[in-house]
């Protein structure tokens, strides 16, 4: 066993979507001292709890993935909570990790922290060049402070703190709640349920014209652990596939894989959001020597298979 994977790793948010996949990658790579407390054990918005967690766990490495996350509708309904909880969790976990003498801290922010008008594919240097989309700005700016914080602690204390930016993630264990999920989870659920009910049509939000850069969650988890092992820089790195696909093409692919035979309708009264959103993945390729290569077809097949099995077992977050 290498010296690295005998280190104690603290993962916050280990029961979450990305966190659960990161735990699997750590296990595959032989990390056998991984601690992943739940929010029942520690409230990460309270400094006393965060300090108690570090005193109890004594980690050498911290992967901070806990956060209050949700779709555009929830962000619109609860902007103060989304701002406060994320800002507090991120600041406290980072500060207490530094204070406890942790060797490395790694966290993620969402692509929604980039300016609303950033040109696609979005390069990392555009981060602070404009305001994020208004609806999610309280959340997105709180998360963007992770980048400021990592740079400040690196400059003043030499703290090895890394921030990554995953693209539009999808995969097994995503949230499949139709009110609040992202497009892939929503459409997988809609097409599977429509097929089973022999429904004559499925409704997709917006015009179908927007494009997104979808990335399979297991690819992100693998690259995240690569960065944990190899990367030590204040420069943020996009983690995505680097390819864009339209919502129309996505809907048609999911219809084909689920063997849905009805019509696909577009509800243009629902928002399209940003028209094109892709990520520049040059840094990921050159600095991390990594790529996210699971094809959309393969990733969708695995996601759909997981959804179909897990919903029977009642294990889907609906
Ligand atoms: P974001 O726009 O990048 O934050 O990500 P989303 O996954 O929420 O939406 C991506 C695109 O998919 C947008 O253009 C949506 O209008 C479109 N879309 C189509 N149908 C749905 C749906 O049922 N749910 C969601 N969330 N988005 C949908």
How far apart are the CA of 71 and the centre of ligand 1, in A? 9
| Residue 224 confidence (pLDDT) | 98
| Mean pLDDT, rounded, of the chain | 95
Phi–psi pair at 101, nearest 5 degrees: 80, 25
- Alpha-carbon distance 111 to 181, whole Å? 16
- Among 68-77, 112-121, 242-251, name the one with the lowest average pLDDT: 68-77
Nearest-5° angle of CA 33, CA 292, CA 202?
110
How far apart are the CA of 38 and the centre of ligand 1, in A? 29
> CB 176: neighbour CB atoms within 10 A?
22
What percent of the chain clears pLDDT 90, i.e. is strictly above it?
89
| Closest atom of ligand 1 relative to the 247 alpha carbon | 12
- Alpha-carbon distance 134 to 182, whole Å? 18
Considering only residues 206 and 73, tell me which one the structure prediction assigns the higher pLDDT. 206
Architecture of 3-170+213-241+278-295 per CATH?
Answer: 3-Layer(aba) Sandwich (3.40)
- Alpha-carbon distance 21 to 17, whole Å? 7
Q: Work out whether strand 245-246 and strand 211-212 pair parallel, antiparallel, or are unpaired.
A: antiparallel
Helix 296-312 to helix 183-196 angle (10° resolution) is: 60
Q: Taking 80 as the threshold, does the pLDDT of residue 249 lie above it?
A: yes
- Give the pLDDT band of residue 3 (cuts 50, 70, 90): low
The arithmetic mean of pLDDT across residues 133-144, rounded, is: 95
Query: Ligand 1: which residue has its CA nearest to atom 24?
Result: 183
Q: Taking 60 as the threshold, does the pLDDT of residue 247 lie above it?
A: yes
pLDDT digits (tens, 9 = 90+) for 262-311: 999 999 999 898 899 999 999 999 999 999 999 999 999 999 999 999 98
| Closest atom of ligand 1 relative to the 168 alpha carbon | 3
For the stretch 192-199, contacts whose Cβ atoms lie closer than 8 Å and that sit 24 or more positions apart, written own/partner, are 192/258, 192/260, 192/304, 192/307, 192/308, 192/311, 194/260, 194/262, 195/258, 195/259, 195/260, 195/261, 198/262, 199/262
Q: Taking 50 as the threshold, does the pLDDT of residue 1 lie above it?
A: no
Considering only residues 3 and 101, tell me which one the structure prediction assigns the higher pLDDT. 101
How far apart are the CA of 272 and the centre of ligand 1, in A? 7
9 lines ligand 1 (CB under 6 A): no
How far apart are the CA of 241 and the centre of ligand 1, in A? 18
pLDDT digits (tens, 9 = 90+) for 65-114: 999 998 878 888 999 999 999 999 999 999 999 999 999 999 999 999 99
How far is it between the farthest Cα atoms of the chain? 62
276 lines ligand 1 (CB under 6 A): no
| Closest atom of ligand 1 relative to the 270 alpha carbon | 16
292 lines ligand 1 (CB under 6 A): no
**pTM > 0.75: yes or no:** yes
Residue ranges covered by each domain of the chain: 3-170+213-241+278-295
Query: Ligand 1: which residue has its CA nearest to atom 16?
Result: 272
How far apart are the CA of 63 and the centre of ligand 1, in A? 28
Contact 166, 111 (CB under 8 A): yes
């Amino acid at each position: 066993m290498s010296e690295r994977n005998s280190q104690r790793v603290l993962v916050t948010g280990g029961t979450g979507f990305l966190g659960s996949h990161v735990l699997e990658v750590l296990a595959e790579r032989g990390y056998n001292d991984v601690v992943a407390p739940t929010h029942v054990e520690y409230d990460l918005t309270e400094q006393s709890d965060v300090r108690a967690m570090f005193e109890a766990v004594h980690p050498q490495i911290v992967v901070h993935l806990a956060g209050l996350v949700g779709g555009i509708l929830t962000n619109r309904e609860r902007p103060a909570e989304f701002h406060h909880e994320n800002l507090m969790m991120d600041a406290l976990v980072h500060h207490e990790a530094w204070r406890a003498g942790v060797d490395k801290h790694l966290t993620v922010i969402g692509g929604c922290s980039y300016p609303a008008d950033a040109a696609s594919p979005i390069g990392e240097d555009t981060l602070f060049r404009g305001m994020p989309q208004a609806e999610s700005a309280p959340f997105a700016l709180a998360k963007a402070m992770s980048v400021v914080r990592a740079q400040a602690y690196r400059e003043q204390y030499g703290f090895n703190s890394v921030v990554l930016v995953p693209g539009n993630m999808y995969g097994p264990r995503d949230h499949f709640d139709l009110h609040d999920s992202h497009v892939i989870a929503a459409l997988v659920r809609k097409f599977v349920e429509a097929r089973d009910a022999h429904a004559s049509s499925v409704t997709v939000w917006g015009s179908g014209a927007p494009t997104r850069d979808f990335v399979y969650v297991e690819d992100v988890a693998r690259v995240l652990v690569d960065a944990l092992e190899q990367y030590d820089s204040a420069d943020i790195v996009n983690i995505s596939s680097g390819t864009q696909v339209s919502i129309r093409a996505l809907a048609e692919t999911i219809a084909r894989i689920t063997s849905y035979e009805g019509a696909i309708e577009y509800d243009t009264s629902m928002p399209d959001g940003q028209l094109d959103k892709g990520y520049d993945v040059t840094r990921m390729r050159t600095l991390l020597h990594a790529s996210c290569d699971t094809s959309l077809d393969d990733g969708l097949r695995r996601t759909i298979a997981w959804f179909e099995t897990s919903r029977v077992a009642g294990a889907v977050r609906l």
